[in-house]
Structure 1
């Protein structure tokens, strides 16, 4: 089965199987060829929508740019960047710990991001006050709050609004012109989710990482070393994706090939398979989720397998 045939099978499954009825888009780029650009609802592929936790991978990208610019250090600590008011137990948590979600905070109960979002202000201070369940670096826990604290640290390191920095340093080089980035009551852009980008913007993000940080036109947005570090397994990870974890990217293997992906609620996924020169984007609508819903990531495995078989056939020739 060729990649085109596998994409046709994936498209048919999305259209016919009820578990995928919430799916909004399937975009596939293999090499320099855009194989698929399907929109299943009213939202066009160039129209922004909520990318949920894929926002975290965008934040990781901004961190990479700030590191390249000499304005951010992965070894810097929360205490260094956010000052004396940081609780003692949190001061030695590093940016690397926040990126890998190994900071040790309790992300549940009143410190769960949904509970924090109900507060009228002081989100970052509340997240910093969360009890420590383990030493920094000792254990992975999926932690939306860690990403929001990371965004606050990025503000201090940059000395400017991260959305302004993103507009200049990331969105413009990728040709992204429309987005919406919600802010907390203290005007900090969300680090954990709900940035709005289009499926084609997400494709551009995936292609940037596939190219090791080099944008179209040759401008380097982060180093190849940062890309490699961000997309290797730093821990075994855990829920919700239950696979390895890097720097706000999930790390796994598909069809025997090293793979990493950005994941978000309701079926948002950007999958990058460097050895196959393959990027896929799938999105879903939260409002349309059914009781038996499944992410369209399920159908991406077949596309990756077809690309892998095609590579093998080429090698055999």
Structure 2
């Protein structure tokens, strides 16, 4: 991308007061923007982008046979499910948690069965497991941070380590992510669906690992097939995005509507308020966006779709 092509993006980022935006393509930084210089070195909450980091850790643990295979019923980790009157809960698998298709009756952003209600209880896991089923497990995606907390709990028990400790050894330190902050639930399990704080460059390093199909400097952190499986468009979604969902990753595509060209696939981590880690394999590109000036009642501007995609289409 030339500086001329980046001019509209710079103007948009400045006007919208985006916190940071990084674009890495073809092995080098095409754009490194911070609203304030100090933001480059400040930890910032990445909200539900945490889910995609957790998915990476679970994928690593599966590849190393620490966590059992995706089709394993979670009954193995939560035996109390056997006492539930709804026997369908015994069919919930690890993959159902990863694709948020466990079937629980859940309204993520408010109400009796929601993330805010869960976070006010003394035992998040028991709260999630006690929710009634609205769907047969595996049939429909319903956005649910409770599924993420179950996954974090499984990883903790299977590995015998705190989730953050496992992350440090298996992911953060090798990627050069030296500082982070990660919140925990009342049982001391690190939060699976939110609560991780990273620097923008740490988010970028994580995105690059996926761009390179789980490999970095000759070391295979996640098997390439596991990366491909986890980022596939597995289930259609409506909320909070109309797209598709994989293993705690969103998947979508774009095209040049004037040329009626083929669709370009991409996948992304998405956090409340406009936090993004976007991977576009065919363009050899990773985009990171963080935002902090947003209103709860307004949908944040999708910098990638509204500003970067038009540049990519023009670039051809």
Provide TM-score, normalisation by structure 2. 0.90
Report the Cα distance in structure 1 between the residues aligned to 2:219 and 2:285, rounded to whole angstroms.
21
- Contact 1:46/1:201, CA 8 A, preserved across alignment: no
Q: Secondary structure at the match of 2:143?
A: coil
Structure 1: gaps (5+ residues): 313-317
Partner of 2:104: 105
Instruction: Please tell me whether residue 77 in structure 1 is matched to residue 73 in structure 2.
Output: yes
Contact 1:6 1:303 survives alignment (8 Å): no
Number of the residue aligned with 2:264: 257
Give per-residue Cα distances to partners, 1:121-144, cap 9 Å, x unaligned: 111001100110001111111111
Give, in whole Å, the separation in 2 of the partners of 1:203 and 1:300. Answer: 18
What SS does structure 1 have at the residue aligned with 2:29?
A: strand
- Cα deviations by residue, 1:241-300 (Å, 9 ceiling, x for unpaired): 110111100000123311000001010011110011011010111xx3247855353355
Tell me the distance in 1 between the aligned counterparts of 2:62 and 2:7: 41
C-alpha separation in 2, matches of 1:158 and 1:209: 23
Q: Paired residue for 2:236?
A: 236
Whole-Å Cα distance in 2 between the matches of residues 183 and 299 of structure 1? 31
Q: CA deviation at 1:89?
A: 3.9
* Whole-angstrom CA distance in 1 between matches of 2:283 and 2:289: 18
Give me the whole-angstrom Cα distance separating, in 1, the residues matched to 2:268 and 2:301.
13
Worse-superposed segment, 268-277 or 294-303: 294-303
Q: Within 5 Å, give how 1:18-29 maps onto structure 2.
A: 20-21=16-17, 23-29=18-24
Higher RCO (CA-CA < 8 Å; seq separation 6+) = 1
- The answer to whether the 8 Å contact 1:210/1:277 transfers is yes
Structure 2 CA distance for partners of 1:163 and 1:50, relative to 1, 3 Å: same
Q: Aligned-residue CA RMSD in angstroms?
A: 1.9
Find 1:58's aligned residue among 53, 58, 61: 53
SS in 2 for 1:271: strand
1:181–1:196 contact (8 Å) kept in structure 2: yes
Which whole-Å deviations, capped at 9, do the CAs of 1:172-206 have from their partners, x for residues lacking one? 11100100110011101001102001111110111
How big is the shift at 1:43? Answer: 4.5
TM-score scaled to structure 1, two decimals? 0.90
- State the distance in 2 between where 1:220 and 1:103 align: 30
Partner SS state of residue 260, structure 1: strand
Contact 2:55 2:248 in 1 (8 A): yes
